[in-house]
Chains A and B, each alone.
Chain A
């Protein structure tokens, strides 16, 4: 029987022929934590009696959620992680390096790997054909210590996307559309596997955006084939030798298949307070916003700032709007500076935040006031997410965000592109 991407990767890694519903024990190629889940991981690791991580080269700690730390308690958590890294001789990416998922893509993830992260958006590395999934602190602690984990082999929803995006429509609009279609729990416990000519022609940056949000439909993984685009990306990152082609079998058995004509998609927005509450930007046009946040592991890459800069260059954001720019990594910041995208965004009135999660999750930087609305390029708009349960979060592409920053209200970016 033909295998899906998930079944192919898990069969290869477990050394057994596994199909949806089976339980597989697999070696872990990368186990990582961030600064709000890592301290519990360290304590659970210590409580288990394990002394050493199984392979320090496969363990990474990221200080990205509170970066730089706004409070002494979080600074102490950072100290705990630094001392664990020193003691275990594992990788640590300190304040200012950027968001775990972006750095994992830039430097660590390879096709066919098993990656577990104590952060739900660990699914991001599925863009490179890695079986990457989010787990809790204890699971990751044991993955670090034992060098393996157990996984139930997921059923797969295949999403075929064909055709060309209209101008003003991007990968973000596609994934918001998919989540709106299947619902915030439409893929719970499952793999979402993407394919079709739109996907074949999509950059790794766009694929990262889509894989990142698979978890917003409840998915365990969001998987892309490893193809020529993956190979080019790995070559550009100095990891060309790590490339291998990974494809689903032509006769793979899917739980369901969704077909999407990319040319029919429009700029799409998630409305408060759930990600699946989607509408076209045109339909909710006119909704007043007081903050626009362009950044995060979903849409904080060079391509995203390029689009935003193309809309905001030589213009000024609406006087009622605070524009926040959150590069996903130090490298993204540097490359966006060299290309003068950051220059254009700052001249337009933007405020650049340190590389990291920034305003996304309400720890610091850009917490909203009572009744305020933010248009964000992040992945989550739950009540209270940005630090205040009395505020409202809309999610959209960097193009929609930039165009709306100019207007002071949500608009369809095609009006200004």
Chain B
């Protein structure tokens, strides 16, 4: 069971807003890059986020570039899961490969600063602040297995192959 506070963002949070191209030179220095996570969407986010917190977006979260550094630095910031109404394909796959859960649900019912409780096993989400209860969409079984191992690298280390 995950529990934490909500940082609410709007629709169309692009990978340029999460880790902009102008910081491309920091991609081999991840701790430094992580200090700028989501900077162009909310300059105060990196200094306020605490381990266990949730990033909650609207529709099409993570659209744009294939840069896996986007979910990677969100995870490094201590975020336990991303919730959104919908997520861009590559971001979704990258997040799972990095062991960062992405839950698709009606995030209109969640407000900035709310306390959430998320059960990854059942996909049940409880907003402890306003009492709303949500269920997240299904993740394909192959992605659940990758997530269960903590990402694609530990998955391949364990199985030595891609099995679906």
Contact = CB atoms under 8 A, between A and B. Distances in A.
A142 B67 CA distance: 16
B90 interface: yes
B52 interface: no
A299 interface: no
A384 B36 CA distance: 14
B57 to A, nearest CB: 12
A47 B64 CA distance: 26
Contacts of A387: 20-22
Contact of B153 (A48, A118, A152, A361): A48
Contacts of A80: 28
B2 interface: no
Given A23-B164, A73-B28, A76-B28, A185 B59 contact: yes
Interface in A127-183: 134-139, 142, 145-146, 148-150, 152
Nearest to B85: A185
Nearest to A389: B40
Contact of A139 (B63, B142, B152): B152
B66 A384 contact: no
A40 B65 CA distance: 15
B157 A362 contact: no
A7 interface: no
B16 A47 contact: no
A188 B25 contact: no
Contact of B27 (A39, A383, A384): A39
B148 to A, nearest CB: 16
Interface in B148-163: 151-153, 156-157, 161-162
Given A136-B94, A184-B60, A218 B162 contact: no
B69 interface: yes
A323 B121 CA distance: 54
Contacts of B153: 44, 47-48, 138, 142
B156 A146 contact: yes
Interface string A97-129: 000000000000000000001111010000000
Contact of B152 (A76, A142, A185, A361): A142
A219 B48 CA distance: 34
Contacts of B93: 135-136, 139
Interface string B19-39: 011101111110000000000
A247 interface: no
A71 B24 CA distance: 10
Contact of A37 (B12, B67, B97, B164): B67
A274 B12 CA distance: 8
Contacts of B25: 66, 71, 73-74, 363
B162 A25 contact: yes
Nearest to A40: B68
A206 B90 CA distance: 25
Contacts of B60: 184-185, 188, 218
A207 interface: no
B136 interface: no
A138 B40 contact: no
A286 to B, nearest CB: 27
B162 A150 contact: yes
Interface in B38-87: 40, 59-60, 63-69, 72, 86
Nearest to B87: A188
A22 to B, nearest CB: 9
A128 B110 CA distance: 44
B134 interface: no
B98 interface: yes
Contacts of B69: 40
Interface string B100-131: 00000000000000000000000000000000
A119 B66 contact: yes
A17 to B, nearest CB: 15
Interface string A384-417: 1101110000000000000000000000000000
A363 B24 contact: yes
A188 B27 CA distance: 27
B69 to A, nearest CB: 7
A84 interface: no
B162 A384 contact: no
30 contacts: A23-B140, A25-B164, A36-B21, A65-B24, A66-B24, A74-B24, A74-B25, A77-B27, A118-B66, A118-B68, A135-B94, A136-B90, A136-B94, A136-B97, A137-B68, A138-B68, A150-B142, A184-B63, A185-B60, A185-B86, A185-B88, A188-B60, A218-B60, A218-B88, A218-B89, A362-B21, A363-B25, A382-B17, A387-B21, A389-B40
Interface of A: 23, 25, 36-37, 39-40, 44, 47-50, 65-66, 71, 73-74, 76-77, 80, 117-120, 122, 134-139, 142, 145-146, 148-150, 152, 184-185, 188-189, 218, 220, 274, 361-363, 367, 380, 382-385, 387-389
Given A40-B68, A383-B14, A383-B40, 6 more contacts: A48-B153, A135-B94, A149-B162, A274-B12, A385-B21, A387-B21
Interface of B: 12, 14, 16-17, 20-22, 24-29, 40, 59-60, 63-69, 72, 86, 88-90, 93-94, 97-98, 140, 142, 151-153, 156-157, 161-162, 164
